[in-house]
Structure 1
Amino acid sequence: MGRQWLHAKRAIVNLKKGQTVGKIVKEITVAAKLGGADQAANARLHAAVEKAKKQSVTRDVIERAIKKGAGIGDDKLVLEHIVFEGYAPHKVPLIVEVMTDNHQRTAPEMRQLFKKGILGAAGSNKFLFEHVGIVEAHHPDTASDLEAAGIEAGANEFEPLSHAQNDDIPEGVAGARFLTDRTAVHAASVWLKQNGWTVITAEIGYVAKSYPELDDTARAEVGEFLQAIEDNDDVQRVWAAVK
């Protein structure tokens, strides 16, 4: 029985890793579609490619994904960007961003996933979030001056970010999240990279204006709900009012 469980556990781990790699490759494609194939001018693409390299995605796969997204060559991308709004259990607001090649498939899947929550109409809860630029990065110097970096990078807000909050941040280094105007994401990312920071996320997203109080049981239920949504192949981002 123990050996059978070991094989099952390995299969689950491999499946999760495959899903993660698939999402990263899709993120490269989407980033190239939205911002072009030049990593130097597309902070989101650069961050996605760096994540892919950490997952040992081959150069050929990365290049194909970039070309597909940017419309270079014969294999062009046809994806629709859809935003779903609603609530997780315990009235936690969330926004789900989807990139899909088949709306007729994705919409029923989202309705099914939201059965334990509430799927709202378009515009039903965006007012509960700030639509901003988000740059997450880390610096090898734990004594790095976060406030000075935030000001120089042009961020409106900044906060420390740990490995526990984002596992792309190594333990024992200084991690941070910088919030910018939507038009300032690239400039902030460039400044940080030029000044010793490793950028792991650079995108436009949603940050909740307030967060409901949750006990441990409620937090676990919300986490399970959000994980089920994130596991959907078409889901690119889940923004939720939960810390």
Structure 2
Amino acid sequence: MGRQWLHAKRAVASLKKSQATGKLVKEIMVAAKVGGADPEGNARLATAVEKARKESVSRDVIERAIKKGAGVGDEKLVMEHILFEGYAPHKVPVIVEVYTDNNNRTAPEIRVLFKKGQLGTSGSNKFLFDHVGLVEAYHSDTSADIETAAIEAGANDFEPLTHSQNDDIPADKLGARFITDRTATGAATKWLTENGWTVVTSELGHIAKQFPTLTDDQAAEVGEFLQALDDHDDVHRVWAAVK
């Protein structure tokens, strides 16, 4: 099963601190807007807050982001969710998930980034992906049975996950990615959390159905293209048919 390219290719340490913090804060706002301000009942928000804390984002910044996203108080989040569909070099299908407060600014910038690829229209390649729930987690007991956990959590599929694939997974822990129906993401997250797993990602995502065969040079070119997209401040996730 192919993985979201971001976790396999992205070098988080190369990102500027301000950019990384900005994306974490935006994820908190979006999670609160979608699922509400209570982390106890919003797995996506709880995961986002935990990530922000690990990156030393202050409590005040986190609380303001939650309130803004949930529409609590005078300041409310005005953010448009947009999917850009197209192809990276060598005909690799790509979906770019964007949250922006100014699409008139963001759309032309995304078009420029697609110059080495091909930007399509809405619906042009979404059918090449499965839209699913994704929960990534780790267990301190390296002998834990991932398949049993997937069945009990209600996941449709699973795959082992290492620190090199997602640097939120400690190198000495047992990592896994659980793939669920979109509506079952929260329930799977809750079960895993209550049964010894530490969840590091809980979200909806897109997994490619097929993967083009690439040479090493072609894969490197595609990786650079995807990294440039991911580095854009308004880009939330990049999903691509890359193993």
> Residue 225 in 1 paired to residue 243 in 2?
no
Q: Corresponding residue for 1:139? A: 139
Identity of aligned residues (%): 71
Cα deviation per residue 1:42-87 (whole Å; 9 max; x = unaligned)? 1111110010011011111100000000000111100001100000
Q: Distance in 1 between matches of 2:239 and 2:46?
A: 21
Q: Corresponding residue for 1:52? A: 52
Q: Distance in 2 between matches of 1:15 and 1:139?
A: 28
Counterparts of residues 175-214 of structure 1 (less than 5 Å): 175-214=175-214
Q: Closer, same or farther in 2 for the Cα pair 1:104/1:167, shift >3 Å?
A: same
Three-state SS of the structure 1 residue aligned to 2:122 is coil
> Residue 20 in 1 paired to residue 5 in 2?
no
Structure 2 runs not aligned, ≥5 long? 1-12
Q: Distance in 2 between matches of 1:120 and 1:15?
A: 28
Three-state SS of the structure 2 residue aligned to 1:165 is coil
Q: Distance in 2 between matches of 1:114 and 1:174?
A: 37
Q: Corresponding residue for 2:4? A: none
Asked which structure has the greater RCO (Cα within 8 Å, sep 6+), the reply is 2
Q: Corresponding residue for 2:3? A: none
Q: Corresponding residue for 2:113? A: 113
Three-state SS of the structure 1 residue aligned to 2:237 is strand
Q: Distance in 2 between matches of 1:195 and 1:128?
A: 34
Three-state SS of the structure 1 residue aligned to 2:127 is helix
> Residue 69 in 1 paired to residue 101 in 2?
no
Cα deviation per residue 1:106-139 (whole Å; 9 max; x = unaligned)? 1100100000000000000011000111100111
Q: Corresponding residue for 2:34? A: 34
Counting matched residue pairs gives 231
Q: Corresponding residue for 1:165? A: 165
Three-state SS of the structure 1 residue aligned to 2:233 is coil
Q: Distance in 2 between matches of 1:208 and 1:175?
A: 21
Structure 1 runs not aligned, ≥5 long? 1-12
CA RMSD, aligned part only? 1.0
Q: Corresponding residue for 1:8? A: none
Q: Distance in 2 between matches of 1:15 and 1:88?
A: 21
Q: Corresponding residue for 2:123? A: 123
Q: Corresponding residue for 1:242? A: 242
User: 1:17 offset after TM fit, Å?
Assistant: 2.1
What amino acid is aligned across from residue 77 of structure 2 in structure 1? L
Q: Closer, same or farther in 2 for the Cα pair 1:180/1:25, shift >3 Å?
A: same
* Divergent runs of 4+, >2 A: none
Q: Corresponding residue for 2:98? A: 98
Three-state SS of the structure 2 residue aligned to 1:85 is strand
- The alignment's TM-score, normalised by the length of structure 2, stands at 0.93
Q: Closer, same or farther in 2 for the Cα pair 1:14/1:116, shift >3 Å?
A: closer
Q: Distance in 1 between matches of 2:89 and 2:229?
A: 13
Q: Closer, same or farther in 2 for the Cα pair 1:139/1:15, shift >3 Å?
A: closer
Q: Corresponding residue for 2:8? A: none
Q: Corresponding residue for 1:79? A: 79
Larger radius of gyration: 1
Three-state SS of the structure 2 residue aligned to 1:60 is helix
User: 1:14 offset after TM fit, Å?
Assistant: 8.3
User: 1:20 offset after TM fit, Å?
Assistant: 1.0
What amino acid is aligned across from residue 142 of structure 1 in structure 2? T
What amino acid is aligned across from residue 38 of structure 2 in structure 1? D
Q: Closer, same or farther in 2 for the Cα pair 1:18/1:208, shift >3 Å?
A: same
- The alignment's TM-score, normalised by the length of structure 1, stands at 0.93
Q: Distance in 2 between matches of 1:142 and 1:94?
A: 34
